[in-house]
């Protein structure tokens, strides 16, 4: 067992296969959970990035092998000017750019795709570690990363519920209607944090983002929303859920 | 490493030719699959990326090995990795506010570039193996990915005249593990009795039967009509 382990830590054909496969699996496992949620980045995307990241480090291993083996005469003459982590270092920058493309800032101050972007980054880093034959890190890390991404999410939702903080965008008829909306919110016992008027749309009706903390006793989440929506001056209401 | 490639690991006129052709072949294989699916970056794009990356990586080695300049052989090649990240980022487009398209193309292009780097470095084994795995991911796992059940969000248009109806609907969704991720209320004021209409975006956490949900909501008191929107 120990011999196989040590053999796979060396740079040889079998270990290259194992490292690439491990990278593919780790990317696939992260991608599976994301695909299930129908997020923007799916199973294949994560796999491709993990495999690519693993190959960068394998190229470094290969070059090191050649510099100390077949090309040793040149190395002796010029000195060893080689940095084995240089390829992998650029993966972090490259995937950073690529992942940034998945982050979308949509209307009403919402940002989505951030977890997908970080997931891509995690897949790349796991790929690098697999390429380095750092198996004792990759295997627990897969478990921990998937735990954080999948199991902690419902916990976070639960925690946010308890905070009773909500943010809504309301479109109304006259700019002066803000007062009425504000009064309705405060009548429900909520504590209003912020009213942030938005730019006027094409249809010329003003809208604003209200963020508030609801009271525990006085009204439920849906009661709050319907009481605002039923005001005669309110045209439409959007709840922002981050 | 495999012995069969040992003769072409140094930079010679022959090995350069072989590497360039191999870059065309491997890039072409990945590109073929992409253009078969009619994606923006197809056959030629992948070949060019693969050739470009292999030239960068070969030049780095050539400077050190043949010209005997004191340089890091991987410095030229490494910049390809971050440079292609930029290009890949540019292929991603945003549609409908929240959805994006082109990410798999970007990831594929990036991986194709790294395969090119491996070819250029003379690391043929890694390049060929990786191409095989990429094709596997693109075909077999593409099929698997489409088999995974999505908990897709759906929109329902609800019309009601009783104020409590919306509360009931929202409570029903909450109790059945469906999160309401967007709520748009518009009231119609021209009729004598006030009728409210609301568009709910429902994101189920488990697989749900859409028709069942809608028929349940339809039976709630005060609900006039309910229909599912695309």
Counting DSSP H helices and E strands in chain B, the numbers are: 7, 6
Express each pLDDT in A130-153 by its tens digit.
999 999 999 999 999 888 887 887
CA dihedral A28, B177, A192, B197 (to 10 degrees): 110
Strands A165-172 and A234-240 turn out to be: antiparallel
pLDDT of B12 > 80? The answer is: yes
Strands (E), A68-180: 104-106, 110-112, 165-172
Task: Give the closest-approach CA distance of A1 to chain B in angstroms.
Answer: 22
Residues A55 and A20 sit within 8 Å (Cβ to Cβ)? yes
Between A125-139, A155-169, B34-48, the lowest mean confidence (pLDDT) is in: A155-169
> Which residues of chain B neighbour A112 with C-beta distances below 8 Å?
98
Q: Considering only the C-alpha atoms of chain B, give the largest distance between any 2 of them, rounded to a whole number of Å.
A: 90
* Average pLDDT of the residues in B180-191: 65
Domain A164-240 homologous superfamily, CATH: Ribosomal protein S6/Translation elongation factor EF1B (3.30.70.60)
Beta bridge partners of B187: B196
Rounded-to-integer distance, Cα A123 and Cα A116, Å:
10
Phi-psi domain of B38 (left: phi exceeds 0; alpha: psi -120 through 50; beta: other): left
| Domain architecture of chain B: domains with CATH | 3-147 (no CATH), 154-229 (3.30.70.260)
Cα Rg of chain A, angstroms:
27
Contact state of B89 with A24 under an 8 Å Cβ cutoff? no
Helices (H), B1-42: 13-36
Express as a percent the part of chain A with pLDDT over 90: 26
Q: Is the dihedral of CA A54, A59, A62, A63 positive or negative?
A: negative
Helices (H), A103-150: 114-131, 135-146
> Which residues of chain A neighbour B104 with C-beta distances below 8 Å?
41-42, 44-45, 48
Predicted confidence at residue A40, as pLDDT, reads 65
**Sequence-ordered list of residues with C-beta below 8 angstroms from that of B178, at least 6 positions apart, any chain:** B202, B203, B204, B205, B208, B213
Q: Name the closest residue on chain A to residue B174, using Cα atoms.
A: A222
Q: Which of A40, A94, A223 sits opposite B167 (nearest CB)?
A: A223
Q: Name the closest residue on chain A to residue B100, using Cα atoms.
A: A40
Q: Name the closest residue on chain A to residue B85, using Cα atoms.
A: A94
Burial environment of residue A124 by CB neighbours within 10 A (0 to 12, 13 to 18, 19 or more): buried
Determine the distance from the C-alpha atom of residue B227 to the mean position of all C-alpha atoms in its chain, rounded to a whole number.
32
CA dihedral A20, A21, A26, A28 (to 10 degrees): 110
Please check whether residue A155 touches B, CB under 8 A. Answer: no
Q: How confident is the model at residue B199 (pLDDT cuts 50, 70, 90)?
A: confident
Mutate to test the interface with A, among B37, B59, B70, B141 (most CBs of A within 10 A): B141
Q: Taking the domains of chain A in order of start, what are their residue ranges?
A: 2-161, 164-240
Average pLDDT over chain A, rounded to an integer = 84
Contact state of A97 with B82 under an 8 Å Cβ cutoff? yes
Task: Write out residues 77-96 of A within 8 Å (CB-CB) of B.
Answer: 77-79, 81-83, 86-87, 89-91, 93-96
**Sequence-ordered list of residues with C-beta below 8 angstroms from that of B213, at least 6 positions apart, any chain:** B156, B176, B178, B202
Phi, psi of B194 (to 5 degrees): -80, 130
Q: Which of B113, B150, B179 sits opposite A38 (nearest CB)?
A: B150
Q: Which three-class secondary structure state does DSSP give residue B66?
A: coil
Please name which of B33, B181, B31, B171 lies closest in space to residue B113, comparing C-alpha atoms.
B31
Q: Who has greater pLDDT, A47 or B219?
A: A47
Mutate to test the interface with B, among A12, A39, A201, A222 (most CBs of B within 10 A): A222
Q: Which of A48, A70, A97 sits opposite B111 (nearest CB)?
A: A48
Instruction: Count CB pairs under 8 A between chains A and B.
Output: 259
Task: Write out residues 213-232 of A within 8 Å (CB-CB) of B.
Answer: 220-223, 225-226, 229-230, 232
């Amino acid at each position: 067992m120990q011999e196989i382990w040590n053999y796979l830590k060396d740079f040889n054909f079998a270990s290259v296969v194992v490292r690439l496969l491990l990278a593919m699996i780790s990317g696939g496992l992260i991608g599976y959970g994301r695909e299930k949620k129908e997020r923007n980045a799916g199973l294949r995307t994560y796999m491709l990035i993990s495999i690519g990241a693993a190959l960068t480090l394998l190229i470094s291993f290969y070059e090191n092998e050649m510099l100390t083996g077949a090309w040793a005469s040149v190395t002796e003459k010029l000195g060893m000017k080689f940095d084995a982590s240089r390829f992998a270092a650029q993966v972090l920058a490259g995937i950073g750019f690529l992942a940034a493309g998945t982050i979308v800032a949509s209307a009403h101050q919402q940002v989505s795709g951030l977890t997908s972007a970080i997931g891509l980054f995690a897949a790349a880093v796991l790929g690098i570690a697999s390429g380095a034959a750092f198996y004792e890190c990759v295997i627990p890390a897969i478990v921990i990363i998937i735990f954080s991404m999948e199991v902690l999410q419902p916990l976070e939702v639960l925690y946010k519920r308890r905070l009773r903080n909500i943010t809504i965008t309301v479109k109304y008829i006259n700019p002066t209607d803000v007062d009425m909306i504000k009064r309705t919110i405060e009548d429900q016992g909520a504590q209003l944090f912020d009213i942030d008027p938005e730019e006027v749309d094409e249809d010329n009706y003003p809208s604003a983002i209200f963020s508030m903390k609801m009271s525990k006793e006085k009204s439920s989440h849906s009661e709050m929303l319907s009481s605002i929506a039923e005001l005669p001056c309110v045209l439409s209401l959007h709840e922002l859920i981050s | 490493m495999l012995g069969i490639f040992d003769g072409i690991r140094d930079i010679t006129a022959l090995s350069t030719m072989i590497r360039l052709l191999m870059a065309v072949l491997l890039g072409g294989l990945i590109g073929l699959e992409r253009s078969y699916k009619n994606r923006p970056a197809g056959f030629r794009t992948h070949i060019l990326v693969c050739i470009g990356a292999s030239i960068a990586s070969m030049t780095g080695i050539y400077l050190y090995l043949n010209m005997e300049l004191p340089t890091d052989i991987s410095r030229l090649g490494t910049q390809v990795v971050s440079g292609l990240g930029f290009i890949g980022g540019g292929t991603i487009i945003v549609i409908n506010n929240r959805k994006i398209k082109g990410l798999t193309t970007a990831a594929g292009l990036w991986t194709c570039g790294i395969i090119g780097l491996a070819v250029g470095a003379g690391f043929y084994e890694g390049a060929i193996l990786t191409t095989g795995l990429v094709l596997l991911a693109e075909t077999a796992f593409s099929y698997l990915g489409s088999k995974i059940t999505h908990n897709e969000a759906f929109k329902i248009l609800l019309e009601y005249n009783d104020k409590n109806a919306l509360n009931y609907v929202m409570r029903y969704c909450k109790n059945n593990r469906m999160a309401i991720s967007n709520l748009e209320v518009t009231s119609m004021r021209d009729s004598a009795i006030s009728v409210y209409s609301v568009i709910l975006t429902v994101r189920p956490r488990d697989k749900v039967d859409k028709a069942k949900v809608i028929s349940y909501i339809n039976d709630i008191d005060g609900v006039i009509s309910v229909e599912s929107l695309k």
